[in-house]
Chains A and B, each alone.
Chain A
Amino acid sequence: MGPFEVTFSAWEMDLTEAGGDTGEESWGDLLAAAQCGDGNAYRRLLTAATPFIRALARRRVHADDVVEDVVQEVLLTVHRVRHTYEPGRPVEPWLAAITSRRSIDALRRSSRVGARELHNPVAYETFAAPAANNIEASESAKTLARLMEELPPRQKEALELTKLREMSLAEASAASGQSVSSLKVNVHRAIKRLRVEAGKDQLE
């Protein structure tokens, strides 16, 4: 090991804290065996090293699904560059460098996506189904229905028949038994009262 082999930068400072090679089976030996084509050793190494890789990835990337993507990309990269490991050297700095690189790639990718795409679920729903999601309109319809319930019965009946069911005054008179002139008066009073109540409601 030469004078330039002390490699730890701040984030790699304590690789053992991330759960490095704990000694049951030396990762270096497993990786050296994997280089010679030992699939079992390779599987044991990757399984043992995955929590370590995941812990390192978590220091840079915070979203869980992205962390798992990074872990998988690290495993693929390990597979591609496994011939660069030099037996006898510690595996952790080698793995840490690969994980660091792939984490940075993931962060760059997500910042690129973030710069070009806008995540706004409300805006999305509003544009997709204009009739269903006009939130303000449905709110005011509910308010209006509540206010109508509070109207005196005759005023409510007059309003319903002439305005909601769109009957003529004569039809409404026949249906309700109210005279045409009392219907007119009740509709007028109902609307006036609703206006006052709705105004109060908005002020609250």
Chain B
Amino acid sequence: MIDRKTDALINDLSADAAPVKRLATPLMRAFATLAGLALFGLVAILLLPHADPLAMRGAGGEMQAGIELVAALLTGTLAVIAAFHVAIPGRSRGWLAVPLPALALWLGLSGLGCWRDIVRSGTSGWELGHSMDCLVFIVTASLVLGVPLAWRLSRAAPIDPLPVAALGGLGIAALSAFLLQFFHPFAVTFLDLAVHVVAVLIVMALASLLRRPMLRPA
């Protein structure tokens, strides 16, 4: 039994069955987007003045900082890939958990570094280093990188935009934090870490609030 109005709707819709451009797989679209963002980041690193090149620090043997950096990059990459998957109807909610181990590693290592900092230099670990600069950097970079990411994600017109926006926000904030390391003095204080976390949360909250205009859900 088919309701008459439903039947009429089916007729209308099938009369309007114009060919559509099929989306590529979420993984392909995520990689293409990440490649674009990487190119943008590379240009930013080359053009913007940065006092303290990464290579020198790596040579200085800051192993843990290196892992931390990789963890941030991994968090951002996985979160962006997950966002592209969650934007498609019927894909697993398991994708929501995919960036979490990398996120835990990233925040854990930063926390450990800060703890050592506190032990070494006492209460000076609580000083607000270049924190505000970092916060502004992460939020600004996220806004700049977030626009093309949101545009790419909106192609799927995600029916449930909140998890897509949250994952996209996490991804873009983590990638911005990764980018920040190229412009950032390495000795982070405890508050610096807190500020990074706050910056990530701000970006995720902004992304969630802006999900409707940015992602244009169906």
Expressed in whole angstroms, the Cα–Cα distance for A197 and B20 within the complex equals: 82
Contact assessment for A40 and B14 in the assembled complex, using a CB-CB cutoff below 8 Å: yes
Contact assessment for B9 and A80 in the assembled complex, using a CB-CB cutoff below 8 Å: no
Number of residues on chain B facing chain A (CB within 8 A): 35
Nearest-neighbour CB distance to chain A for B96, whole angstroms, equals: 9
Number of residues on chain A facing chain B (CB within 8 A): 43
Q: What are the residues of chain B within 8 A of A101 when measuring CB–CB?
A: 89, 159-160
Expressed in whole angstroms, the Cα–Cα distance for A38 and B19 within the complex equals: 8
Contact assessment for B90 and A46 in the assembled complex, using a CB-CB cutoff below 8 Å: no
Contact assessment for A68 and B6 in the assembled complex, using a CB-CB cutoff below 8 Å: yes
Of B21-29, B50-58, B108-116, B122-130, which stretch is located at the interface? Answer: B21-29
Contact assessment for B89 and A97 in the assembled complex, using a CB-CB cutoff below 8 Å: yes
Counting CB contacts under 8 A, is A77 at the interface?
yes
Q: What are the residues of chain A within 8 A of B11 when measuring CB–CB?
A: 43
Contact assessment for B13 and A94 in the assembled complex, using a CB-CB cutoff below 8 Å: no
Nearest-neighbour CB distance to chain A for B88, whole angstroms, equals: 5
Q: Which B residues form the contact surface with A (CB < 8 A)?
A: 2-3, 5-6, 9-11, 13-23, 25, 85, 87-95, 98, 156-157, 159-160, 218
Contacts A79-B16, A86-B88 supplied; 13 other A-B pairs, CB < 8 Å: A4-B95, A9-B93, A36-B19, A42-B14, A71-B6, A72-B5, A76-B9, A83-B22, A83-B23, A84-B87, A84-B156, A94-B90, A96-B90
